[in-house]
Copies of this chain bind each other. A is one copy, B any other.
Amino acid sequence: MSVPGATVADMTATEDTRAVAERYFTTMNARAWSAFGALLTDDVRYELPQTGERITGRGNYLRFNQEYPGAWQLRVTRLLADGSTASASLLFTVGGRQLVAVVFLELRDGLIARVTDFWPEPYDAPPGRDHLTEQAVSEQDRFVP
């Protein structure tokens, strides 16, 4: 199987990637914007494939985060590092709701050069498969609409 690598070619080591990824989420959750910004390349690219939106540049991406509404909190539930790429799942709580987000990070020279965020939404189970399924998802990934 041919699997495309990260689009940002880089040799950042897995354990450095893991440390930067952990710090990305810790500083985001703490609104420690100066420390958060220090993890990003000048030309960092943030993508939200579900809306088609892209934000380019550290200043714009910082402002997007600073302006993001709501007293949200996030908790990292999975964090994988593999070479210069990381992925994570999060529980994101805001105003009594709980969402799951999935994030991919790509590093260049030890800094985050590309962020891709996915925000799945809960939906009703399609009919015709309840002979195989039960309603029982782990707390790790529980949506609270």
Contact = CB atoms under 8 A, between A and B. Distances in A.
Interface of A: 1, 3-4, 6-7, 14, 22, 25-26, 47-56, 60, 63-64, 67, 76-82, 85-87, 89, 100, 102, 104, 116, 118-126, 129, 132-138, 140-143
A77 B104 CA distance: 12
24 contacts: A1-B25, A1-B76, A3-B77, A4-B77, A6-B78, A7-B138, A49-B122, A49-B142, A51-B123, A51-B125, A52-B125, A52-B136, A52-B143, A53-B137, A54-B133, A54-B135, A55-B133, A60-B132, A64-B133, A89-B104, A102-B118, A102-B120, A116-B141, A120-B121
Contacts of A78: 3-4, 6, 85, 87, 104
A14 B145 CA distance: 35
Oligomer: number of copies: 2
B132 A52 contact: no
Nearest to A61: B132
A59 to B, nearest CB: 9
A80 B79 contact: no
Contacts of A87: 78, 80, 87
Contact of A64 (B60, B76, B132, B138): B132
Contacts of A132: 55, 60, 63-64, 67
Given A132-B63, A133-B54, A141 B102 contact: no
